[in-house]
A and B are shown apart, each in its own frame.
Chain A
Amino acid sequence: MANIKRFTTIQRLSHFVLILTFMLLSVTGLAWMYIETGWGQGLANIFGGYIAVLEVHRITGLILLIGFVLHIGYMLYIINWRGLPKSILGPDSLVFQKKDWLDFVQHLRWIVGLSKEPRFERWSWWEKFDYWAVWWGLLIVGVTGLMLYNPVLSSDYMPGWLLNIAVWVHRIEALLAMAHIFTIHFFVEHFRPRCFPFSATMFEGSKDIEHLRQEHPAWVERMEREGRLSDVLVPAVPVPLRILHFVTGYALITLGVFLVVYAIINVTYLTLAF
């Protein structure tokens, strides 16, 4: 069965680096947030205690921010500047358009049985949302994370009481990001019936044509109409590589779910006062 290429190697690599840094930041961040509990101390001990775990958190955060800057450079590089604004408002763009809002409403109506399923183009509304959510999240945790990186130094350039705010904003945005990825993102991409048990598109870079005819019919039809479909067809990924993707993916999913479950179990032992 033939596959359609959906992501380039650079895009897959970017996503994988994002996974690794995000997971490391989640483990080290939760270790620090829960350092009062046995669970938090156990997580910190993996890295050699709470001082080391904070240092790993800081350095990983910097690596992620560098990755973010590189991604912005990549994005500026692949934009077709001469074709603006049409080039970023076309069907291959991740920029939100009116169709996404209409798709969202129709998708909701389809879910409750009031309408036909929307015919998604290359990117559905939730894929665009997931992409831009990383931007908004990274900007918030990135700015506050830099403020907290060296609080004595940063309070040379702002009043120290902004650190009170930075801690809470960093904390809530991080919890939101983790909870969203480990529940909503995993469910939509892997656990809903059409994708279960695992969707490896972001690992393999391609997806079988039948699945895409169901999930992104307008995109496949456009490529057929324009006679470009044969250009994007790639052979299916060999089985050993698919097993590797599956095992890696499930290890990461298990880690994410473990973090969510234990964070919820241990939350009553924290002395944070809301």
Chain B
Amino acid sequence: MHLRRNSRYLLTLLLCLGILMPAAVSAADEEHPYEATSSGYFRDQDTLPGGYSLYRQDEAGRLWGGPSGGDIKRASFQADAHEGLDGYGRRSCVSCHETERYSLHTSRGNTSCVQCHRDKPIAGLYHYYSAMNPIRRHAYICAKCHEGSTASFATYVVHEPRPLVGSTADSFPLFYYAVWFMVILAVGVFAVFLPYVTLWGVRELIEMFGKGGGHNG
């Protein structure tokens, strides 16, 4: 009885091993997803560790002076962001969203609002099924024109804040300080050189006509 029970255990163990062994071997042969090369649907940067992560973008953005989302309105989570607005159907987008009227996309690409804000009705940016949701924005919106767009690419701020106004120092610090640096550099060069060369020209003119140039020159 004792032996029979032991042999039954042994048999069961062997049977289990027999089933599991080939499976274990084949699992070892398979590449871990991180090590897999691109399937063609994604590029290496989308799958390799250490690349751009959609889920760490806010953290990384704050660390490096990137854009912050600012205050998120309740309507940003609604399926219809404009639900219940009086006279909504008779108004144009920019009659309310005046500050979003101009961007490089509209002024140079001639795009209209609804080419990107494409849901019908227009969903809030963070509604789960919104095409604008950062989870799928790059694929559903940006890639319509920018072939191969990635989540990182989609963090480009289309409606960028005005770079030189004070509030941008909070909402997009690196943008604010980089543009101010360039403006100071450019203005500084001209603040030095324009008066300098003007006086220089006058000095040479005086010298040319012999009025006071002789004793100094």
Contact = CB atoms under 8 A, between A and B. Distances in A.
Nearest to B202: A111
Contact of A193 (B64, B153, B208): B208
Interface string B153-190: 11111001011100000001011001100110110011
B186 A176 contact: yes
A274 B162 contact: yes
A180 interface: yes
A7 interface: no
A160 B152 contact: yes
Contacts of B175: 161, 164-165, 168
Contacts of A117: 216-217
B185 A176 contact: yes
A179 B193 CA distance: 11
Interface stretch (B2-10, B74-82, B100-108, B118-126): B100-108
B147 interface: yes
Interface string B104-142: 100110000000000000000000000000000000000
17 contacts: A36-B108, A112-B199, A113-B216, A116-B217, A151-B153, A155-B150, A155-B152, A159-B52, A161-B175, A164-B175, A176-B186, A179-B186, A180-B190, A187-B197, A188-B200, A191-B201, A274-B163
Interface in B194-217: 194, 196-197, 199-201, 203-205, 207-208, 212, 216-217
Given A35-B107, A110-B217, A168-B179, 8 more contacts: A111-B203, A113-B212, A155-B152, A156-B152, A159-B57, A160-B156, A179-B190, A184-B193
A164 B205 contact: no
Given A165-B179, A184-B193, A193 B152 contact: no
Contacts of A268: none
B153 to A, nearest CB: 4
A200 to B, nearest CB: 19
Main secondary structure of the interface of B (DSSP, over half): helix
A192 interface: yes
Contact of B201 (A159, A187, A271): A187
Interface of B: 43, 45, 51-52, 57, 60-61, 64, 66-67, 102, 104, 107-108, 146-150, 152-157, 160, 162-164, 172, 174-175, 178-179, 182-183, 185-186, 189-190, 193-194, 196-197, 199-201, 203-205, 207-208, 212, 216-217
A172 B60 CA distance: 27
A81 to B, nearest CB: 33
Interface residues on A, range: 35 or more
A173 interface: yes
Nearest to B179: A168
A193 B157 contact: no
A156 B160 CA distance: 21
A274 B4 CA distance: 88
A4 B30 CA distance: 74
B148 to A, nearest CB: 5
